[in-house]
Amino acid sequence: MTVSSQVKGCFSSIKSIEATLQSLSAKTSDQEADKVFKEVRNTIRTVQNDLESQVLHLTKEEPQYKS
């Protein structure tokens, strides 16, 4: 498995985690839990943005990693 495919796999996992957190946030009636889900989602978005930048970098700088 190439570095690029590992980073892309991680990116997909992070997107899935964000969607799960959003779903949990929508389903809870506990305001404290909702607040925590939203805070974690914001952190996950930051990681997601960083990974997306890394995927773009790998694609541009390392043509062999294009998929």
Q: Would you place residue 5 in the very low, low, confident or very high pLDDT band (cuts 50, 70, 90)?
A: confident
| φ and ψ at residue 63, rounded to 5 degrees | -55, -25
Tell me the pLDDT tens digit for each residue of 28-61: 999 999 999 999 999 999 999 999 998 888 888 7
What single-letter DSSP state applies at residue 23?
H
pTM over 0.85: no
Query: 1 CB contacts (<8 Å, ≥6 apart)?
Result: none
Closest CA to 11 of 57, 36, 44, 60: 44
Non-local (6+) Cβ contacts of 20 within 8 A are none
Given this model, what pLDDT does residue 16 score? 95
